[in-house]
Amino acid sequence: MNNEASISSYVARVASLGGFLDGISYLNQDRRSDFAEAFVLNAPYDHDVPDVIQTSFSHLAGMTVRPDSNFRETMGQLEQDLKSLLLVDPFVGDEQIAENMRSYLAFKIMDRLDDIINDWAQLDEDSTLLNYAPPKRFIGRHDDILGQMIFYLLRSEQVTFVLYFCSSTERF
Within-domain flag for 18: yes
User: For residue 91, what is the domain's CATH number?
Assistant: 3.40.1460
Within-domain flag for 90: yes
pLDDT at 29: 76
The neighbour count for residue 100, using CB atoms within 10 Å, is: 12
Within-domain flag for 52: yes
Low-confidence ranges of the chain (pLDDT < 50): 1, 120-124, 127, 169-172
Within-domain flag for 155: yes
DSSP string covering the chain? --HHHHHHHHHHHHHHHHHHHHHHHTTBSSGGGEEEEEEE---SSGGGHHHHHHHHTTTSTT-EEEE-TTS--SHHHHHHHHHHHS-SSBS---HHHHHHHHHHHHHHHHHHHHHHH--GGG--TT-TTTTSPPPEEEEEE-TT--SEEEEEEEE-SS-EEEEEEEE-SS--
pLDDT at 51: 93
pLDDT at 136: 95
Within-domain flag for 172: no
Within-domain flag for 30: yes
At 84-105, the pLDDT tens digits run 888 887 888 888 998 999 999 9
* Confidence (pTM): 0.85
71 neighbors 77 (Cβ within 8 angstroms) = yes
**Number of domain units in the chain:** 1
pLDDT at 132: 81
pLDDT at 27: 84
Distance CA 133, CA 160 (A): 10
Within-domain flag for 24: yes
Within-domain flag for 121: yes
Distance CA 22, CA 145 (A): 18
Distance CA 143, CA 86 (A): 23
Domain that holds residue 161: 3-167
User: First CA to last CA across the chain, in angstroms?
Assistant: 48
pLDDT at 1: 47
The C-alpha angle 154, 155, 160, rounded to 5 degrees, equals 90
> What's the sign of the alpha-carbon dihedral 95, 146, 25, 28?
positive
